[in-house]
Copies of this chain bind each other. A is one copy, B any other.
Amino acid sequence: MDEPKPPSPRRLKAPSSIDDLLARAHALEGWTLDRLASAHGHAKLGSGLHFKGKAGELVERVLGASGGPGATLDFPELGVELKTIPIKPDGRPAESTFVCAIRLEDAERAEWQTSWVRQKLMRVLFVPISDDSTRMLGRALLWEPTSLQEEALQADFDDIMGLAGIGRIEDISAHIGKYLQLRPKARDGSPRALAFGADGERLRTVPRGFYLRARFTGAILRNPESLPDEA
């Protein structure tokens, strides 16, 4: 028996509308990363299960994301950020989801309303990928936070940036934040990022980024309007 043949994903022009983007994303359901790479003239993706970023980059290209450098969304005209998300056989995310890095030196002035993390999270296209050897794409979901969800995210942001703003960056562990957390984000643990200490002194620390906890994204994938509650 032949494999069923999904519609071709070979599209490179930017999607013209959210409906267009969502239709393209839905058409990817059932493709494996290897077949997707071949269909786009890429070599096979290597021998391992995971590729640290390659999946995300490939899906971006296939969907026609503007990409490119600069602090921008994947689909700036549509206000959409793309995130691939690895899913275990039981349907839950295998990992937290990286959102964006932060500039620690600006922590004191940071506000949720104008933050980069909020811009990224206001409209997200989640593309599930099975966390097994097939690396198969699942059904994409376009998510916009409910007001309750946004309040919860802002509360976490305020807790984190509150500490950062008073120079207590080293007191921020990944334990802070019910749904949104701050973690190291660098190719090694070297303190290459600029920050200010409690007395206003400059110091170097490890670069950090915001992540959505797997518990939060797992709840969204099952019911986009839900919030995982505490005990």
**How far is A127 from B219 in the complex, measured between Cα atoms in Å?**
35
Check A226 against B218 for contact (C-beta < 8 Å): no
**How far is A218 from B218 in the complex, measured between Cα atoms in Å?**
23
Q: A222 at the A/B interface (Cβ < 8 Å)?
A: yes
Select from chain B the residue with minimum beta-carbon distance to A227: B231
A180-226 at interface with B (beta carbon < 8 Å) = 215, 218-219, 222, 226
- State how many angstroms separate the Cβ of A204 from the closest Cβ of chain B: 33
Which residues from chain B contact A231 at a C-beta distance below 8 Å?
Answer: 215, 218-219, 222, 226, 228-229
Q: A3 at the A/B interface (Cβ < 8 Å)?
A: no
Select from chain B the residue with minimum beta-carbon distance to A214: B231
Residue of B218, B222, B228 touching A229 (CB-CB under 8 A): B228
The contact sample of 11 A-B pairs, CB cut-off 8 A, is A215-B231, A218-B231, A219-B231, A222-B231, A226-B231, A228-B229, A228-B230, A228-B231, A229-B229, A229-B230, A229-B231
